[in-house]
Amino acid sequence: MALYRKIIVVIFSLVVLVCLYAGVFHWMTADTAQAMKAERPELEWLRLEYNLDEEQFSEIRAKHEAHDIVCRDLCRRLVEARKQLDRAINEEGTMSPVVSAALAQWTEQRQRCREATLEHMYDVSSVMSPEAAKRYRERIFRQLIIPGRMPHVGDDGEFHEEIIDHAAPAENQR
Amino acid sequence: MNDDDLHSLLKQWEIDLPDDPRFRASVWREIATRDSSSCLDSLRSWLDRFSSPRLALPLGACAALAVMGTASLHGLHNREQTWSKLASTYASAIDPVMQMERESSLEARN
């Protein structure tokens, strides 16, 4: 075989290997690329990750959009509560009833937000298959409550952050 | 020819260098040509070694497997990163606390 012919064969082989790399990479990341191109990538992730059919997906999408309005309102209230707490801490020179009240209000608002999130999570998981619902709940717990801590105001009116044994996934309980 | 003759002949011998100003350049050019041909020779011998079907087929298969393995690992890593990012985006979209924390961190950054 002539030298130049051999060189062409080597170059052609390298091109084939590069194409093979690109093809395998594209095949491995096809679903993520599809999700990223969607209008709401996070919902597309939900659809692909939990194998939702069209009916399930449209129901969850409607629930998501309804929850979005509630979520924005709660977020606004939480920001207000935090600003009040910041103001009270900066203005008061000691742990006064004003600071305590602002802290209680902020904690209560935070708990309300988390309850709304968990309520939505249960609502969404009720649409999924039992196996997908279990995986979804575990994932959301992992994202929201690491490592299974839930802030709340106790009977004594004080701020607590306790481990929710029945809620957090086993690997997050430390 | 005896030793004396050779001795006297060598004494008479003069090196007659050509009176060409491009002589040195042409010598270097010749050296470069020989060097490049030695490169081509080594390339040729390297190609000859690997172009026998007995070696080329396993070598090609190994290269293809290595490329596929590397591409799979890279793709898997990329997929996990994107998936994790989308899961966080989803969680912050449904959780007001995470939304607030995100807005606070954005405010702090600005």
Residues A67, A127: one domain?
yes
Q: Is A61's Cβ below 8 Å from some Cβ in B?
A: no
Residues A64, A96: one domain?
yes
State the total domains in chain A.
2
Q: What's the average model confidence in pLDDT over A125-138? A: 94
Residue A42 covered by a domain: no
Read off the CATH number of the domain in which A118 is found. Answer: 1.20.120.1490
Domain that holds residue A14: 1-37
pLDDT at residue A40 greater than cutoff 70: yes
Residues A128, A58: one domain?
yes
- Residues in chain B whose beta carbon is closer than 8 A to a beta carbon of chain A? 40, 43-44, 47, 51, 60, 63-64, 67-68, 70-72, 74-76, 78-79, 82-83, 86-91, 93-100, 103-104
Please answer yes or no on whether A25 and B75 come within 8 Å at the CB atom.
yes
* Least confident span in A25-29, B9-13, B74-78: B9-13
Residues A2, A77: one domain?
no
Residue A47 covered by a domain: no
Residue A43 covered by a domain: no
- How far does the CA of residue A137 sit from the closest CA of chain B (Å)? 11
Residue A108 covered by a domain: yes
pLDDT at residue B17 greater than cutoff 80: no
Residue A59 covered by a domain: yes
Give the whole-angstrom CA distance, residue B94 versus residue A65: 10
Of residues A121 and B8, more confidence is placed in A121
C-alpha pair distances (Å), B24 with each of B10, B20, B33: 26, 9, 14
Residues A99, A161: one domain?
yes
Q: In this predicted complex, what is the ipTM?
A: 0.72
Q: What's the average model confidence in pLDDT over A26-45? A: 91
Residues A121, A150: one domain?
yes
Of residues A115 and A150, more confidence is placed in A115
Residue A94 covered by a domain: yes
- What Rg value do the Cα atoms of chain B yield, rounded? 37
A35 and A44 in contact (C-beta within 8 Å)?
yes
Residues A65, A108: one domain?
yes
Give the whole-angstrom CA distance, residue A114 versus residue A165: 16
Position A109 confidence tier, pLDDT thresholds 50, 70, 90: very high
Q: Where are the alpha helices (DSSP H) in A126-172?
A: 130-144
Of residues B17 and A75, more confidence is placed in A75
Residues A75, A19: one domain?
no
Position B37 confidence tier, pLDDT thresholds 50, 70, 90: low
Q: What residue type is assigned to position A89 of the chain?
A: I
A128 and A50 in contact (C-beta within 8 Å)?
yes
The mean predicted confidence, pLDDT, of chain B is: 82
Residues A33, A82: one domain?
no
B66 and A22 in contact (C-beta within 8 Å)?
no
Position A155 confidence tier, pLDDT thresholds 50, 70, 90: low
